[in-house]
């Protein structure tokens, strides 16, 4: 990518990685650190041209478009050099997408007090990659399957598939208490809000957005249950809030969980939230071929289950899911 900080106009030709993207989002991406207000000002003023003509901020770039960008003064980003390159364990990769097996404790992207995440580390590890973008999100403390697009066409299709419910997503969660139903549909609307300290939270509320989870019992002990949760919608903190609202908080959940229990669990070896993205089933965004991917419980969660078996008797054994 050419340096937009120079004192001269830059001419760019739109390739596969940018085709279909809105011009405003494209400029915000290539001119990181520039205020949005400045990007929209140069668009309104006509300083940005496509094929020698003026365009609006909602114009979608086409393959081969000739883009004129005026010089844009951006602040240097010293923190960029601090992003360490990292390759992650992968469940799948081809020329269209990567499915990362994300470890707990790693954010999917930088922001909200986090300098970098999976996507920044992947880009640093793969400087030759022209396009790497998250197709969805996982909470920082949630481990498991995370989809990254390697082509814009794949990203657009994946977004459509997630929105239309074409992608099957299943998670394993260990909850406090004895879950009784073999299968239960949970349909409780969720409302996002900010705490007085500015932290993002979610609660069940009639004013919220529709949210649907299907909870299946996998195993049960005297004081805990292992459940598999299938998401039919993808709201923020959906599994965590649905289970906590039903008085089955996830073990180790530091936002919606049982905080006294969490302290005891830390002493016995569970030092993270027990929530793992274990299965994905999706039509390949370009070929349409069905992909069925699975991630086993990571060692720290599997070892805690083993300790639980030592301390408490199971009355329901693991079944084929």
- Catalytically active residues, by annotation: 139
Q: Scan for tokens 């799948």, then name that residue.
A: 92
Closest C-alpha to 138, from 225, 216, 240: 240
Token representation of residue 246: 């039903």
3-state SS of the chain: helix, strand, coil percent to 5?
20, 30, 50
DSSP 298: P
In 10 A of CB 262, how many CB atoms? 19
The residues near 274 (Cβ < 8 Å, ≥ 6 apart) are 172, 173, 174, 250, 251, 252, 301, 304
Question: Helix or strand or coil: residue 222?
Answer: coil
Token representation of residue 206: 């009639």
The residues near 42 (Cβ < 8 Å, ≥ 6 apart) are 27, 48, 70, 72
Backbone angles phi, psi at 90, to 5 degrees: -115, 140
């Amino acid at each position: 990518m050419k340096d937009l900080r120079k004192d001269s106009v830059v001419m760019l030709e739109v390739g596969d990685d940018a085709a279909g993207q809105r011009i405003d989002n494209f400029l915000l991406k290539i001119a990181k650190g520039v205020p949005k207000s400045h990007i929209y000002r140069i668009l309104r003023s006509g300083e940005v041209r496509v094929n020698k003509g003026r365009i609006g901020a909602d114009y979608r770039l086409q393959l081969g478009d000739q883009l004129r960008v005026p010089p844009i003064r951006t602040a240097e980003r010293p923190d960029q050099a601090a992003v360490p390159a990292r390759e992650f364990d992968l469940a799948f990769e081809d020329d269209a997408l990567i499915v990362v097996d994300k470890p707990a404790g790693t954010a999917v992207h930088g922001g909200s007090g986090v300098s970098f995440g999976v996507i920044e580390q992947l880009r640093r590890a793969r400087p030759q990659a022209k396009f790497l973008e998250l197709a969805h999100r996982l909470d920082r403390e949630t481990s498991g399957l995370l989809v990254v697009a390697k082509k814009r066409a794949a990203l657009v299709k994946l977004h459509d598939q997630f929105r239309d419910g074409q992608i099957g997503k299943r998670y394993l969660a260990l909850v406090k208490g004895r879950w009784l139903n073999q299968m239960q549909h949970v349909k409780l609307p969720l409302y996002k809000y900010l705490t007085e300290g500015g932290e993002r939270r979610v609660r069940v509320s009639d004013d919220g957005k529709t949210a649907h989870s299907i909870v299946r019992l996998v195993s049960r002990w005297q004081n805990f249950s292992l459940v598999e949760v299938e998401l039919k919608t993808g709201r923020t903190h959906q599994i965590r809030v649905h289970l906590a609202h039903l008085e089955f908080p996830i073990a180790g959940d530091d936002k919606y969980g049982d905080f006294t229990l969490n302290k005891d669990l830390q002493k016995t070896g569970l030092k993270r939230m027990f929530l793992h993205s274990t299965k994905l089933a999706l039509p390949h965004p370009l070929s349409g071929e069905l992909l069925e991917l699975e991630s086993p419980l990571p060692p720290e969660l599997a070892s805690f289950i083993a300790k639980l078996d030592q301390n408490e008797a199971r009355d329901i054994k693991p079944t084929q899911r």
